[in-house]
Structure 1
Amino acid sequence: MSRLDISGDARRVVAAVKAGGVAIIPMDVGYAGIGGCHDALMRFFHAKGRGAHKRNAMLGNLALHDELHLLDARGRDMVRCLVEDHDLPVAVVAGFREQHPLLRALGDEALAASTDGGTLAMLLNAGNFLRAVTEEATAQGQPLFGSSANLTGTGTRFRAADVQPEILAVADVVVDYGLQKYNRYRRSSTMIDFRTMEVIRIGSCYEVIAEALKRHFDVELPPDPGLEALPSGHLREAQRVYS
């Protein structure tokens, strides 16, 4: 067996997205479907059977977080603590710079479908492939947005082989790297609004994230009631705008 071609696969994904396509990609927190324009995101949206109120998240890194998100010094320090000091995946919700070139490249319709109440969700530090594809896309001026590669309400897929046929049917590229790192959590990324420290979604590494924030910043996150009690990870129905 040959080793993974992370850089080559990242280039292949970005080329497909730039051409208006949909890609299924591996991340530590599960497989995701991504696009970079309104038509692609809508094809994926309809394949998932998502509700009209749902929003996409952006694939990013700390550099994009610094450029796009509007957050005070304490909030930025907390994000860097989780990502740099503890090497944890986290989806950051914050205000954003709407006129940033990457967001303008997405188009008004797609941006409206990917933001909510003046906030943008951005996934950080979810594995080597996310890092590579984000860097490649950013270098080419291509934004990447999406959500988990599964039918709505059926749970995150941690193997490409488990992604439903309806989802695979709309994909122009599928990158299959087998079982992903945080499969035992059976949830996608932990998502936090770092303006208010409200937990939007309990997900992978939540207990480690909670302990780090308590230890370094004396921030107390709510306890996880458990997967059986809260399979989606969303503490309140109103929070489910970001899936």
Structure 2
Amino acid sequence: MNLSTTLAQQLARRPQRVALLEQIAVQGSITRAAKAAGLSYKAAWDAIDELNNLAGRPLVERTVGGKGGGGARLSAEGERLLALYKRLESLQARLLESAESEQDLELLGRLMLRTSARNQLSGRVVAIQPQGRNDLVEIELAGSARIQAQITRDSTEKLELTAGRGVVALIKAGWLSLQALSSPADPQLNQLEGWIEQILPADDGPSEVRIGMASGLTLCALVEPELLAKLGLQGGDPVRAQFAPGQVLLGTPL
């Protein structure tokens, strides 16, 4: 597993996430690790889902049975990530020492932007198909799943996209539409299949639906409770998430 620039930035900007992984290794429990790292249980799982997606494989594994009824532990990839992060910290310290002024550091901070998109999926460009002034970029995610992003030709050139280039696909939770696998898929839309891991209802808005995928990635969708009831979807059900290529934003490591 390579420590991608995007994943490294996530850890560097949010040291609580490193603390969370360290505490999972020590505590063997998400609940106890979250408390020790100063995070809520939900925030801990949000962090784990995002880091798993950027890494392209699970960093945390659930354990079943044993004293207390089970818990969690770092996967081999998670353990390696922590070791790599320690090396990154050393390199980062050397980089900061080489900065000539405070303005240099402020510039770096402006370049490393955060995003509000809940779904950040790491992948690589497979092909780029011209479509007038736009390009249709085909991306392979972890587990060989493929999606398409429609972006302008200027964006393709600005991001220096070519086959084999690593990218992060950003998809807002509200852009995902869900349907049962028994329903016909729309061939014009991207399709990602999985199962409903959890439904988190809200008192004054759409429910948050977490979708697990066989690759270990996790999607987050926002769906109105009435629509969930109409679709008959509940925890554990297989589900298909659909979204248009134009609703996929792309980013590349700096």
- Compute the TM-score of the two structures, normalised by the length of structure 2: 0.23
Decide which structure has the larger Cα Rg and report it. 2
Determine which structure has the larger strand proportion and give its number. Answer: 2
